[in-house]
Structure 1
Amino acid sequence: MNRDRTIKNDLIVKTLLGEPTERTPVWMMRQAGRYLPEYIKLREKYSFFERCQQPELACEITLQPVDIVGVDAAILFSDILVVPQAMGMEVQLIEKLGPLLPEPIRQERDLKRIQVPDVHDRLNYVFEAIKLIKQELNDRVPLIGFAGAPWTLLCYMVQGKGSKTFDEAKGFCYQNPELAHALLQMITDTTIAYLKGQVAAGADVVQVFDSWGGLLGKKDFETFSLRYIRQIVEAVKEEVPTIVFAKGAWSSLQEMAETGAHGLGIDWCIEPKMARQFAGDQITLQGNFDPAKLLSPIPVIQSEVKQMLSAFGPGKHIANLGHGILPNVPVDHAKAFVEAVKNS
């Protein structure tokens, strides 16, 4: 594994590799973005994809939480839907309404509209942003790259928009399993090339987000999600530490641990003790503070963080939220969360 030993604060990398650290590291999913006034100013001037596709803007946004909140890692500012976009689908992101893919994939002929792209052509702006971020970070903290898991991307590509249940996407998989697997493999092949490109550009860690993995039962999670996540982890785990976060799919923690990933993200609906029993002792767990609890008074946040850290115990834990930070969280509450971890 190519390891950048020059990073001054490499707590997260060390923790993922099972090395001892002086304290628990901390970062927050969706830390670069919507709760920060500095980000909101840029949002008022530039569209979402302008922010993603202009490396200077993506760099500025990525660095904001490192400078303002004091987290132990930067995570690339981008979106999981840049992959379907690169594959040839139209993707719109409408502020406060979410994603819209106006021509979803529903039948075999729709697959002909998309392809496994040359990521260095279609997603080069991401790699340029990573190079710029690494330069500006100047080895202060590691940079986390990421991609959406194939199942979660299929959900959007078939449903055509966000959903709480993604019934149409699930129905597509049950009614057209061969078509679903063909699409999932195309997404997987694109994602492997994309993450390898992120690593080559300088990402120190990568995380695979399966936001909708919890919508599947255990058997279907294996069939439509984990078998593809396994391919991705296998392709990148020797190059950089790799984290898998499948929200709600706690019943498959053991199987996810067996992929060879270095870390598993967990949400707040499973107790750390139970997560550890499922995942085993060899893997790092990441999580699992309820993002809504950041709306609590600061003394409550501090107390809850202590309880969380105590429940996970020392070592093999990265403090994080159990999902992305909410847009209405006050910045000083986010800081209080980070400081509480650092001071424990």
Structure 2
Amino acid sequence: MTGRERFLAACHGKAVDRTPIWIMRQAGRYLPEYRALRSQHSMDTALRNPAIAAEITLMPLERFPLDAAIIFSDILPPLTAMGLDLAFVPGHGPQIGNPLRTTKAVDLLGVPPAKEAMGPTLEAIKIVRPELNVHNLALIGFAGAPFTMASYAIEGGATRTFAHTKAFMYSEPAAWDRLMVKLSGMTIDYLKAQIAAGVDCVQLFDSWVGALSRYDYERYAKPYSHRVISAVEDSTIVIHFSTNTGTYLDAVADAGGNVIGVDWRTPIDEAYARVQKPVMGNLDPAALLAPWRELMPHAQEVMQRMEGQPGH
């Protein structure tokens, strides 16, 4: 099987000759060539320049026998197009200078067309697609899920407590719903534009949704993730990824997605049994910092737990 065939077959729950391989953030700081390029260009420049984004996307394929590339981008730039002041601050990560804290701020948010808001990323996809076709590799697009995007917009940056997000969610439920409708609409348009540009599948990142209880997930997040996924799932494969959601992984799967991305906290065979869908992931990212003798058993455990199962 080619890499693209292997990856797509696994996503459809079919048998494969081996487990397909791709890595989140596979184009990043661990690559010397990436660090060299970033020494000359800021993160913002790399995201806004299609040629640079395409070059970064392809970097790991020169080193490793991967089955898919994931387009180099970030989940947050759509917030800039909606009217938020986003900056990638060295040493501090993404920061939003005018976080959403009022109902008026929510109502002032725009929802521009994805082609206008995320044109450079869409152009990067068009540059990368022919290169991957030559090597028969898959291309993954992505976007942030509405809850995670809302959390960034309200908190203004990374957080441990999600105090501002939850306070707004609980105290202004109508405004929260209006915000999530806007974010859902933007995300649907953006994913559809990526599909039209040439990606083979899309991943919905809900990186922060594990801050919620099952009840709050069902009320405040799940309906909007479902809205996004149901709008695009007839056009492409959808990988639905979340973190720290082991206690309600069934609810995450019920929100939609052909494939469920599983973090390291839940054994992958248990997750597979609970969601009854193809699964991906499960290796602790920190294990990649370990020496080979320690990393191999972690990878082997994931493989052994899913041995013989379709969709992995």
TM-score by length of 2: 0.95
1:313 aligns with 307
Structure 1 contact 234–260 (Cα < 8 Å) conserved: yes
Kept in 2: contact 1:7–1:142 (CA 8 A): no
Identity of aligned residues (%): 35
* Offset, 1:317: 4.6
Deviation of 1:8 after TM superposition, in Å, equals: 5.5
Counterpart of 2:141 (choices 134, 138, 145) is 145
The residue that corresponds to 2:227 in the other structure is 231
Task: Work out which structure has the larger RCO, using CA pairs closer than 8 Å and 6 or more positions apart in sequence.
Answer: 1
Counterpart check, 1:35 vs 2:27: no
Q: 1:197 to 1:95 in 2, by over 3 A?
A: same
Aligned to 1:268: 264
- Mapping for residues 113-124 of structure 1, pairs under 5 Å: 113-124=108-119
- Which residue of the partner structure matches residue 334 of structure 1? none
Residues 107-161 of structure 1 show CA distances to partners (whole Å, capped at 9, x for unaligned) of 1221243211111112111111100010222342100000001100111101111
- Distance of 1:85 and 1:264 partners within structure 2: 29
The 5 Å alignment of 1:330-341 reads: none
Judge conservation of contact 1:15–1:315 (CA < 8 Å) in 2. Answer: no
In structure 2, the CA distance between the partners of 1:194 and 1:86, relative to structure 1 (3 Å rule), is same
In 2: Cα distance, 1:228 partner to 1:316 partner: 29
Q: Residue 145 of structure 1: SS of its match in structure 2? A: strand
Give the aligned partner of residue 257 of structure 1.
253
CA distance in 1, matches of 2:104, 2:295: 52
Structure 1 contact 8–139 (Cα < 8 Å) conserved = no
Deviation >3 Å, runs of 4+: 6-9, 315-318
For residues 72 and 66 of structure 1, what CA distance do their matches in structure 2 show? 9
Residue 127 of structure 1 aligns to a residue in which SS?
Answer: helix
Partner amino acid, structure 2, of 1:178 = A
Could you tell me how far apart the structure 1 residues matched to 2:84 and 2:102 are? 14
The separation in 1 between residues aligned to 2:309 and 2:195, in whole angstroms, is: 26
| 2:213 paired with 1:211 | no
Q: Give yes or no for contact 1:254–1:279 (8 Å, CA) kept in 2.
A: yes
1:313 Cα deviation from its structure 2 partner: 2.4
**1:245 alignment partner, one of 232, 241, 244:** 241
Indicate the larger mover: 29-38 or 194-203.
Answer: 29-38
Check conservation: 2:250, 2:275, Cα contact below 8 A: yes
2:5 aligns with 10
Aligned residue-pair number: 311
For residues 312 and 95 of structure 1, the distance between their equivalents in structure 2, rounded to whole angstroms, comes to: 39
1:80-125 Cα deviation digits (max 9, x unpaired): 0011112121100112211111101111221243211111112111
Query: What is the CA–CA distance in structure 2 between the aligned matches of 1:278 and 1:129, rounded to whole Å?
Result: 37
Counterpart of 1:184? 180
Letter in 1 for 2:282: N
What is the identity, as a one-letter code, of the residue corresponding to 2:295? I
Alignment match of 1:157 (pick from 131, 153, 157): 153
Counterpart amino acid of 2:66? V
One-letter code aligned to 1:115 = G
CA deviation profile, 1:2-33 (whole Å, cap 9, x unmatched): xxxx9763211110112221011111111111
Corresponding residue for 2:291? 297
| Cα deviations by residue, 1:171-227 (Å, 9 ceiling, x for unpaired) | 111111111111011000000000000000001010000010110000111122211
Secondary structure in structure 2 of the residue aligned to 1:269? coil
CA distance in 1, matches of 2:134, 2:271: 32
Show structure 1 runs of 5+ residues with no match. 1-5, 319-344
Mark the runs of 5 or more structure 2 residues left unpaired by the alignment: none
Q: Partner amino acid for 2:72?
A: F
Q: Distance in 2 between the 1:70 and 1:96 partners? A: 31
Q: Distance in 2 between matches of 1:126 and 1:7?
A: 26
2: CA distance, partners of 1:218 / 1:179? 21
